Each structure stands twice: as C-alpha cells, then as structure tokens.
Amino acid sequence: MAERKAVMLLKFRASVRVVSPKATKKLKHLAEAGRISLALREYRPGDHAHAVIIFACTDDRETNRLIRENAAELRIPVNVVDRPEECDFIVPSIVRRGDVTIAISTSGILPMASKKIRQSVEETMNRDWVAYVRIIGAVRRYLLKTVADKAVRRSIMRYIGSMDREEIVKTGTSGMKRVVKSRIP
C-alpha cells in the first residue's frame, strides 16, 4: 500500500518519506535512487514533522491511531487507508495523459468502483484526446497573444469548440491557427 501511495505522489512531484519496518523492492530502489526518503523502522511520534499530508497504511490499528493522533496535534491531514471514516481527505483514482488529469472518486465509499471507472476512462482517454488538448491549448495561447478583443476570442473559441475532435486533431496546430486567422474580423 505504501508503495502505491508513494508512486502516485511522485507522479505529482511530491517529496515522499516512507517509515516502515519493511519495504518492497520498488520502495528500496526509489530510496537508493534518491526519489524518496525511507526509514526502515517502526513509526515514532515526531516522524510526521514537516509533513504536509500523511498516509497511515499499516496493518496495525493501534499504530494507525497513533499516527492520526500525532498528526492531528499539528493539524496535518491524514488518510487512514481503508478507513474513510477516519480520513481527513480521500485520494481519488487518477488518470493522467499528457496535460489531461482526471480524478475519480466515490468519496471513499467504494474504492473498487473508482478503480473500474478509472480503467474505463483509461481505455477512452487515447492519444487523440491528448493531441486535442495540446492543439486547443496552443490555439488558445495564440488567440490570447494575437487577438485583443475578448468577445472575438470567445466567439472563435466557441466555433472551435463546436468542431469535431477528430477534425481538430487531423488539422493540427498550424492548420487550426489558419482557422483562427480566417475567423478574425
């Protein structure tokens, strides 16, 4: 569980510290590579110093309770894995492709449903969607630089928004810039 949480946090460039008497090969490798800090021992009060958030994911209810209490003293939000009623925050299932990040949550009620929904979204979120977002982002930046009139920019973006995704991907960024130029009064 700690490995999954650490890997997820690293995707968002977090600084990660794992305290555990045991570690997976992957956690050890991440520590050796300097990507995480790893303390191979039992949790101690004070381990949460400088933390912004904490995941309590031990097999021991008493240790999780102690982690939660210590964090509460410093007002550090805690996620007690598999105990949504004890969580200050929940972690959604994440789908990340290029500049697209989609978070899926069942508010901690049914994590397996979040996982199934995430898998479905992963199948749908193909390269065309990533290209579409990249192209539209570039067109929007171009519009902001070249068209001063906010109403004209909004009108052009509405027009582009009405276009078919496949058409935009096929046209590409330079083709879409030509479309923009043709729509400027």
Tally of CB atoms within 10 A around 143: 19
- Give tens-digit pLDDT for 17-72: 999 999 999 999 999 999 999 999 999 998 988 899 999 999 899 999 999 999 99
User: Is the distance from CB of 76 to CB of 92 less than 8 angstroms?
Assistant: no
Residue 127 vs residues 32, 59, 78, 174: alpha-carbon distances, Å: 34, 39, 35, 18
**Parallel, antiparallel, or unpaired for β 54-56 and 100-104?**
unpaired
- Give tens-digit pLDDT for 127-182: 999 999 999 999 999 999 999 999 999 999 999 999 999 999 999 999 999 999 99
**End of a domain among 104, 125, 146?**
125
Containing H/E element for 161? helix 150-162
R_g (Cα) of the chain, nearest Å: 23
Looking at the fold, whether 83 and 96 belong to one and the same domain comes out as no
Query: CATH no. for residue 87?
Result: 3.40.50.720
For residue 27, with 0-12 CB atoms within 10 Å meaning exposed, 13-18 middle and 19 or more buried, which class applies?
A: buried
The domain of 169 spans 127-183
Please tell me the total count of domains within the chain: 3
